[in-house]
Structures are given as C-alpha cells and as structure tokens.
C-alpha cells in the first residue's frame, strides 16, 4: 500500500469517528456480524468488500455510486471495464444494509457501510485496523465513464500507479488480469523477465495460454487470505502477481523500492501506513451535510 493520496486528499472536517455514536451506536457490531456470517462460506468476502470501497472512492469520491444498478437514466459503474465480471460482494452489502436498517432506519449511508466493512475486513484478515471516519452520504448518480477512466489498470506502468496504492495482500485475480505477463509481455512474445521462473511455471499451469480467462489465482502466494506484509516479501522474491504490483520494486530507480523493502521488514510500519492510507482514501470528496441522500436500498436512489 502506498499512501500517496496528496492529489486527492482534502481535509474533511465533516467526517468524524463519532458520527453515529448517538444515531446508530451499534452499527459496527451489526456490520461485523453480517461479514462474519458471510465469511463462513466465502473466505474472499473481506477482499471483495475493501475493493468495493476503493472502486467507490476513486470515482467521484466515496459516495456509494459503485453500488447503483442500471435504471432509467442510470448507467451503472458495475459494467465498467475494471468492474465487470470482477467486482463482487454486492449481495453481502445488501445484507449489511438490511441488518443496519433494521436497527437504525434511514441513518447509515451505503458509502459509510463500505468504509466500515473495509476496516472490519482487514481485522478479520488479522490485520491491524484504523479508526474509521464517518458521515458520508450517498450519491444520486453513477459515473461509468469515470470508472473506466479513473481506476488504475493492472498493466499500468509505475507513473500511473504511483499516486495510488496497491492493496493485494489478500484476495484473487482472474487470469485475464495477468496472462499477458506469462506469455507475451508487452508484445515481446516472451514472459515478463521480472517473474521468478518457478512462479512463472506455476502461473502458467493455472492459466494456460488458451484457457479460461476467469480462473482465479491468489494475489498473495504466501498467505492468500491473511492481511499481512507477505505481499512485499513476494515482490522481493519476484513473485508479485500483477505487473502493477511487481513494478513497485522492479522498476529501476523507483521511489517505491525503499517503501517495499521497509514494509517487507516491518509489518507494523506497513499496518500504520495502510491505516493512514485508508483514512485518506475514505476522505476523497465525500458528500456531507445536506448533499446526496441516505439510500434505503444501496442498489437504487430513493
Ligand atoms: C495500483 C492500483 C491498483 C491496481 C492496478 C489494481 C488492480 C487490481 C486487479 C487487476 C485485480 C484483480 C481483478 C480481477 O482479476 O478480477 C485486483 C484485485 C483486488 N484489489 Fe486491486 N488494484 C489496485 C489498488 C487497490 C487498492 C487501493 C485496493 C484496496 C484498498 C485494492 C484491493 C484489491 C483487492 C482486495 C483485490 C482482490 C479482490 C477479490 O478477491 O475479489 N486494490 N486489483
Ligand atoms: C449489537 O449488534 C450485535 C450484532 O448484531 C448484537 O449481538 C448485540 O446484541 C447488539 N448490541 C446492542 C447493544 O444492541
Ligand atoms: C481472454 O482474454 C483475451 C484478452 O481480453 C482475449 O483476447 C481472449 O480471446 C480471451 N480468451 C478466452 C478463451 O476467452
């Protein structure tokens, strides 16, 4: 994770850690209960939820826009290229929303549910958490073009991703997201020279050249479902799954090399920085005050 959100972060005095203390004091416990339940049948649910928050925040800010379905005058972000067939966890968000509405109707936004769910997901993955800032409201619009343009590509070069950060210590990726590296890296006809040879062999077995693009591989080979700093050790061993990940270390002279090495050496350093990054990401242009609305169904505007 690289906390370089300077471009995006604005100070938002409106968000606060105590926002629901009086209006919905038990919201965190309710969200946690639903996620724990879902995790019993889907080890990946935490990864799905934190990614939803990321894909929400990077498109017009953290406003729940990613959750809106197609409707009259509504072109869903779910069908944008980075999301389609890949982003998941929507039904669990609906379950969370239902559970929260049962205890505090009309109070907690879908945007805040994603922020709370991200923090809980990291803690369930055994990572250290942060104090979630709350008070976001939900958008009445979606921005599919924004989702196509603003979300970073897995084959993006470092200039593209350095201002963002990488969070791939748990979860899965589809073969289509990294197959190019295995067989025809940047149209060379050869694999990406930075991939460890044994790892390349393993990945080719998982993702044969003409095989199913939707087969999944672990983003973190060492500890697939834990939120930990092994992701950075993988990069040191040339075992990063996505090009955008491995480049953080393998790009000559990159500013990120020192960061990767530091986080590989210190899990607590990594956790501290990650928490700060998540707070910054969660602060991207939220709707507050009387802007937007509190959706009663995360899939549609009121
Ligand atoms: C440089 C920026 C980033 C790029 C290029 C990127 C790209 C990707 C790609 C291509 C996948 C696999 C999707 C698929 O094949 O279906 C993925 C998965 C994932 N991403 Fe990112 N990502 C970035 C940053 C982030 C950030 C900031 C977060 C969270 C804060 C995040 C969280 C995740 C998670 C948890 C998964 C696994 C999801 C699952 O198992 O369903 N990523 N990412
Ligand atoms: C808060 O929610 C949790 C999970 O649903 C529940 O077990 C607990 O009893 C609730 N506490 C209060 C004070 O309502
Ligand atoms: C997999 O995706 C690539 C790139 O999008 C495409 O060219 C190829 O036809 C797909 N393969 C299959 C088997 O669907």
55 alpha carbon – ligand 1 mean position (Å):
9
154 lines ligand 1 (CB under 6 A): yes
Three-state DSSP class for 132? coil
* 27-151+278-282 and 158-274 share one fold: no
Give the residue extent of every domain in the chain: 27-151+278-282, 158-274
**CA distances (Å), origin 274, targets 30, 77, 130, 186:** 24, 26, 9, 31
Residue 298 and residue 21 in contact, taking contact as beta carbons nearer than 8 Å: no
Residue whose CA lies nearest to ligand 3 atom number 1: 213
Residue whose CA lies nearest to ligand 3 atom number 9: 210
Helices (H), 40-131: 45-57, 90-103, 110-124
pLDDT in tens, 262-274: 999 999 999 988 9
Q: What is the CATH number of domain 27-151+278-282?
A: 1.10.520.10
Among all ligands shown, which has an atom nearest to the Cα of 29? 2
Which residues does the annotation mark as catalytic? 55
Instruction: List residues forming the annotated binding site for substrate.
Output: 152
Which residues are CB-neighbours of 149 under 8 A, at least 6 positions away? none
DSSP 138: B
Q: What is the pLDDT of residue 49?
A: 98
Residue 31 CA to residue 16 CA, distance in Å, equals 18
Q: What is the pLDDT of residue 68?
A: 98
Q: What is the pLDDT of residue 163?
A: 45
Residue 117 and residue 35 in contact, taking contact as beta carbons nearer than 8 Å: yes
Residue 127 and residue 274 in contact, taking contact as beta carbons nearer than 8 Å: yes
Query: What predicted TM-score, i.e. pTM, was given to this entire model?
Result: 0.93
pLDDT in tens, 133-171: 999 999 999 999 999 998 887 777 665 554 456 689 999
176 lines ligand 3 (CB under 6 A): yes
Fold of the 158-274 domain: Peroxidase; domain 2 (1.10.420)
213 lines ligand 3 (CB under 6 A): yes
156 lines ligand 2 (CB under 6 A): no
30 lines ligand 2 (CB under 6 A): yes
Mutate-to-test residue for ligand 2 from 26, 28, 31, 96, highest number of ligand atoms within 8 A of CB: 26
Helices (H), 125-238: 144-150, 158-161, 179-183, 197-206, 230-236
Which residues are CB-neighbours of 124 under 8 A, at least 6 positions away? 35, 36, 39, 46
Q: What is the pLDDT of residue 28?
A: 98
- Taking Cα atoms as reference points, which of 230, 170, 140 lies closest to residue 46? 170
210 alpha carbon – ligand 3 mean position (Å):
8
Which residues of the chain are modeled with pLDDT < 70? 1-13, 157-166
């Amino acid at each position: 994770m690289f906390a370089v959100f300077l471009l995006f972060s604005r100070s938002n005095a409106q968000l606060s850690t105590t926002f629901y203390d009086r209006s919905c004091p038990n919201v965190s416990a309710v969200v946690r209960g639903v996620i724990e339940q879902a995790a019993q049948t889907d080890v990946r649910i935490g990864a799905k939820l934190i990614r939803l928050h990321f894909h929400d925040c990077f498109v017009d800010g953290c406003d729940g826009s990613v959750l809106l379905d197609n409707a009259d005058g509504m072109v869903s972000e779910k069908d944008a290229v980075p999301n389609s067939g890949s982003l998941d966890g929507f039904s669990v968000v609906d379950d969370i929303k239902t559970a929260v509405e049962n205890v505090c109707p009309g109070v907690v936004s879908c945007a805040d549910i994603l922020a709370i769910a991200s923090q809980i997901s990291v803690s369930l993955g055994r990572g250290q958490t942060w104090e979630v800032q709350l008070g976001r409201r939900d958008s009445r619009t979606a921005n599919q073009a924004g989702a196509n343009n603003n979300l970073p590509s897995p084959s993006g070069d470092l200039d593209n991703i350095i201002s963002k950060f990488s969070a791939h210590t748990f979860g899965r990726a589809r073969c289509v997201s990294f197959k190019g590296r295995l067989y025809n890296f940047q149209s060379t006809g050869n694999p990406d020279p930075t991939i460890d040879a044994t790892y390349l062999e393993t990945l080719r077995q998982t993702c044969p050249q003409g095989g199913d693009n939707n087969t999944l591989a672990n983003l973190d080979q060492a500890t697939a479902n834990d939120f930990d700093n092994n992701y950075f050790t993988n990069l040191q061993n040339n075992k990063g799954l996505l090009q955008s990940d491995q480049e953080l270390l393998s790009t000559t002279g990159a500013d990120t090399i020192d960061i990767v090495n530091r986080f590989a050496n210190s899990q607590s350093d990594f956790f501290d920085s990650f928490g700060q990054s998540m707070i910054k990401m969660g602060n991207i242009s939220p709707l507050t005050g009387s802007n937007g609305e509190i959706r009663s169904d995360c899939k549609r505007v009121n």
